[in-house]
Structure 1
Amino acid sequence: MKNFILLLFFSYSVISFSQSVQSKILTKSEITERDLDGGKFPIFRAYEYQDKGGVYELILSENQKVISPKDTLNTRIEAICYLNDHGGYIEKWKINDLVESAEVEETTIWFWTKYCSTQDLDDDGYVDPVIVYGTKTDDDNLRRIKIITIYKGKKYAIRAVECDLDYCRSFKKDKNWNLLPQKIKIHIDQLLAKIRKEQHILLKDG
């Protein structure tokens, strides 16, 4: 009987450990050690996380266009997630965007890393990265905000446009948004509330 109890405890421990995830922000030296800094844009932030699928490197890069010796603006950004495959890297997904000038000219685009995360949001043993970035106009007003959740390798996006006038403000979720687990949707709703409160923005349709 005692052996049976020990076996049950060992089995439970293995299952619990197998579903745990680990995540950290990489230092500059760790980025160099992992040979991750050879991309087309400078790395603004890099994460390493481990889940049931393996070890992943998530790179957030901004092109840092030089405006003056003391000032830079980003006109392009790129996020790439790699699976660490025995020292080599397999690209799993990528996000690209750039400033727009269709209606209101944008001057910079950047990753909003204080709202980005690499967590297991639905407790299934796999990390569900959340990538948040925004744009500003030449008068330093927020223009576009984009929140992208990666779930099982697929992207689920929220696209918002901030504007003082109702007609030019928008807030749209992808058509497949409701396919996300409820726990993830609740997390994103809480994140939206946090961004609204901290940044004093509406994030809603006109």
Structure 2
Amino acid sequence: MKNSILLLFFFYTTFGFSQKISSFILNKEQIVQLEADGLSDFPIYRAYEFQNKTGVCELVLCENQKSISKKDTLNTKIQAICAMNDHGGFRERWRINDLIDTAEAEKNIWFWTKYFSAQDLDGDGYMDPVIVYGTRDENDEIKRVKIITVYKDKKYAIRAVECDLDDCRSFKKDANWKLLPQKIQVYINQLVVKIRKEQNLLLKDG
């Protein structure tokens, strides 16, 4: 199975992307194998493989998928894990954990995979994953949004709270945000604009 993944990666990089660093989505069978290998604590919702100067890595997005009916599920916890293939096993590089805030009446938390990115944003030969997720309340309204950029295995987050009232609305960048390369900052700022438009969100302070 590992050999087939590596061959698929070779095809994508050599013929599809002119040897540029890239990522691809793993199929259901490959995801089942990752779960069997014990890579995740929860069911894997989506999994990616990418390669950069440090080697081949798996990035899994996991949601605990609590059933509320036969046709519907809600997530109370999520987890993102990046691990490197290491002699037939996995060596974790970083992870993200989050869960709903019941005090704020949050009922669901999930990854917004349409805004996920695994690219070399600044051209240094390393992947710079961008992971976006949000929460909804019991009225199905978006409460929180997080945009987390991982640069050289360090996390840089934007944390937003949506609210009808000015004093409970917020949009904060981590204190280390300015340490990100300018190209990455520009990409994330453009992503914020896109999310505002497509999700009809304010994403601002006050």
Q: TM-score range by the shorter chain?
A: 0.7 to 0.9
Q: In the alignment, is residue 106 of structure 1 matched against residue 102 of structure 2?
A: no
2:117–2:129 contact (8 Å) kept in structure 1: yes
Give 1:184's aligned residue.
184
How many Å separate the matches in 2 of 1:154 and 1:96?
A: 14
For the pair shown, the structure with the greater C-alpha radius of gyration is 1
The one-letter amino acid paired with 1:196 is R
Give 1:87's aligned residue.
88
- Deviation, 1:187, is 0.3
- Deviation, 1:20, is 3.1
Local SS of the residue matching 1:97: strand
How many Å separate the matches in 2 of 1:36 and 1:184?
A: 35
Over aligned residue pairs, what C-alpha RMSD do you find? Answer: 1.5
The one-letter amino acid paired with 1:149 is T
C-alpha change, 1:141 and 1:189, in structure 2 (3 Å) is same
C-alpha change, 1:141 and 1:77, in structure 2 (3 Å) is same
- Deviation, 1:31, is 2.0
How many Å separate the matches in 2 of 1:174 and 1:109?
A: 21
2:35–2:43 contact (8 Å) kept in structure 1: no
How many Å separate the matches in 2 of 1:184 and 1:70?
A: 39
1:43-77 Cα distance to aligned partner (Å, 9 max, x none): 10000001111110001000000111111100000
Give 1:174's aligned residue.
174
1:20–1:51 contact (8 Å) kept in structure 2: no
1:31–1:37 contact (8 Å) kept in structure 2: no
| Greater fraction strand | 1
1:112-165 Cα distance to aligned partner (Å, 9 max, x none): 110111110001110000111000000000000000000011000000000111
Question: Which aligned pairs between 1:107-186 and structure 2 lie closer than 5 A?
Answer: 107-186=107-186
Give 1:32's aligned residue.
32
Give 1:63's aligned residue.
64
5+ residue gaps, structure 2, are 1-16
- Deviation, 1:22, is 2.1
Identity %: 66
1:1-60 Cα distance to aligned partner (Å, 9 max, x none): xxxxxxxxxxxxxxxx9x831200111112234556643211100000011111100010
Question: Which aligned pairs between 1:40-59 and structure 2 lie closer than 5 A?
Answer: 40-59=41-60
Normalising by structure 2, we get a TM-score of 0.87
Local SS of the residue matching 2:193: helix
The one-letter amino acid paired with 1:184 is I
Moved over 6 A (4+): none
How many Å separate the matches in 2 of 1:43 and 1:114?
A: 16
The one-letter amino acid paired with 2:78 is I
Normalising by structure 1, we get a TM-score of 0.87
The one-letter amino acid paired with 2:111 is F
5+ residue gaps, structure 1, are 1-16
2:35–2:44 contact (8 Å) kept in structure 1: no
